[in-house]
């Protein structure tokens, strides 16, 4: 019998793609195969004009309970460096389309780092998050130390990373780690609702919003405001801007085409 697909691809609508990690025997631990395929598929979606939004999900038990320890336990530093798994997360972060993470169950270590690559994180109320790498003799290596510190502040990040403790979805919401709470078991359903809402918006505006927020968040304010100003001006070269404002004045629903 053939092994089950480790990454399932679903299309709730023509313009929304869901990638569901499917390694239930190891709580969706992230092996190299899943990392490569996820990066390749999301890169492809970024270049597909028909795709408006991407969702990454796991199961009700685990979004992803960390990296696959079996792949790295006996590795040396040169092997780890040459494997360079961080490049696969970069591919997800660089996707020009909005990426939503739908988190249920465990999102630990590399699983939380994967979720933090998304633009929006929806977590079920029962989700458990954390960066427990220190407990196995390493530290977060997929962006966890830097992203968490930027989200929750240096002092709180130090405590969470140095102890490796898990924290619940409600605490994650209060700290600003996730975007929204959903009832347990409904994170993916809520993520699809948000994706539908975003997919109805003008694609060029959405892409520009993602680009300038990501580029500007760590830039000097004057630089960030300049990026915003230039992006705002660019919108007036699009047909969608004309359609949106005409529809507003004509009191009808706009139809955005990404042009």
Q: Within a domain: residue 150? A: yes
Same domain, 56 and 95: yes
Instruction: Tell me if residue 176 is catalytic.
Output: no
Calculate the alpha carbon distances from 80 to 33, 69, 76, 77, 147 in Å.
15, 12, 6, 5, 21
Which of 113, 115, 172, 187 is catalytic? The answer is 113
Same domain, 129 and 219: no
As for how many domains the chain has, the answer is 2
CA distance 177 to 187: 15
pLDDT tens-digit readout, 64-111:
998 777 777 777 888 878 777 888 999 999 999 999 999 999 999 999
Instruction: Tell me if residue 67 is catalytic.
Output: yes
Cβ atoms within 10 Å of 133's Cβ, excluding its own: 22
Same domain, 89 and 179: yes
Instruction: Tell me if residue 2 is catalytic.
Output: no
DSSP-derived letter for residue 30 is B
Same domain, 70 and 194: yes
Instruction: Tell me if residue 110 is catalytic.
Output: yes
Angle between helical axes of 203-216 and 221-235 (0-180°, round to 10): 170
Inform me whether the pLDDT recorded for 212 exceeds 50.
Answer: yes
Same domain, 193 and 221: no
Which of 133, 144, 172, 191 is catalytic? The answer is 133
Domain of residue 60, residue span: 7-199
Q: Which residues contact 218 (CB under 8 A, 6 or more apart)?
A: 150
pTM over 0.75, yes/no: yes
Q: Within a domain: residue 256? A: no
pLDDT tens-digit readout, 168-205:
999 999 999 999 999 999 999 999 999 999 999 999 99
């Amino acid at each position: 019998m053939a092994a089950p697909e480790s990454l399932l691809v679903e299309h709730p609508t023509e313009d929304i793609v869901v990638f569901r990690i499917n390694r239930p025997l190891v709580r969706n631990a992230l092996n190299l195969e899943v990392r490569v395929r996820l990066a390749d598929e999301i890169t492809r979606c970024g270049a597909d004009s028909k795709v408006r939004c991407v969702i990454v999900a796991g199961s009700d038990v685990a979004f992803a309970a960390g990296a696959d320890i079996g792949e790295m336990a006996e590795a040396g530093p040169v092997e780890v460096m040459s494997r360079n798994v961080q490049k696969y997360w970069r591919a997800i972060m660089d996707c020009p389309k909005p990426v939503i993470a739908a988190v249920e169950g465990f999102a630990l270590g590399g699983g939380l780092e994967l979720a933090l690559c998304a633009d929006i994180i929806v977590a079920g109320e029962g989700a458990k998050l954390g960066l427990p790498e220190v407990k196995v003799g390493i530290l977060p290596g997929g962006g966890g130390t830097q992203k968490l510190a930027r989200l929750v502040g240096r002092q709180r990040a130090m405590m969470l990373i140095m102890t490796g403790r898990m924290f619940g979805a409600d605490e994650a919401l209060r700290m600003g780690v996730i975007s929204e709470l959903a009832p347990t078991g409904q994170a993916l359903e809520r993520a699809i609702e948000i994706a539908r809402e975003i997919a109805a918006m003008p694609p060029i505006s959405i892409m520009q919003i993602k680009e300038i927020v990501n580029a500007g968040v760590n830039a000097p304010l004057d630089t960030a405001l300049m990026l915003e100003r230039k992006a705002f001006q660019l919108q007036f070269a699009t047909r969608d801007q004309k359609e949106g404002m005409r529809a507003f004045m004509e009191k009808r629903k706009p139809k955005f085409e990404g042009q």
